[in-house]
Amino acid sequence: MSARAKVVLRVWIALLALLAATTALAFAPLGSATLFVSLAIAAAKALLVLMIFMELKASSGLVRAFAAAGFFWLAILFALTMADYSHRRDVPAPIDPPAQASIRG
């Protein structure tokens, strides 16, 4: 087995182990920490794919910067969107019309 094949095999095993861990932990009584645990494991899986399968580990700084740019803009998109939604309250402003339509069935 070539050196690259060994690396790919190890990463594949690690990815499946992380998948098993995240699925098992989703049923554990972790309360609201569940979301952060599952997202942290997803980030670890994504990092393995990015660095090894997508070869960013062996790429030049310029290629890595291009790859990071997408994530940088995504972080802005998330920060500004969530800054809005997480500060909204379910209280109508005086200017809002009474009896708001609701999608709750």
Partner 1 sequence: MAERAPTFQFATLSQQREADALGMWAFLATELLFFGALIAGYFAYRVTYGDEFIAAARHTKVVLGTANTAVLLTSSACMAMAVHSTEQRARGSAALWFALTALLGLAFIAIKGFEYFEEYREQLVPALNFAVGRYGGVTQLFFIFYFVATGLHALHLTIGVAMIATLAVLAASDRLPSSQPVRMIGLYWHFVDMVWIFLFPLIYLAGRNG
Query: Is residue 17 involved in binding partner 1 (CB under 8 A)?
Result: no
Residue 84: CB minimum distance to partner 1, A:
8
**Reduced to 3 states, what is the DSSP secondary structure of residue 99?**
coil
Residue with tokens 């899986």: 45
Which of 60, 93, 94, 96 is in the footprint of partner 1 by CB under 8 A?
60
Query: Is residue 41 involved in binding partner 1 (CB under 8 A)?
Result: yes
Query: Is residue 55 involved in binding partner 1 (CB under 8 A)?
Result: yes
Q: Is 29 exposed, middle or buried (0-12, 13-18, 19+ CB in 10 A)?
A: exposed
Query: Is residue 51 involved in binding partner 1 (CB under 8 A)?
Result: no
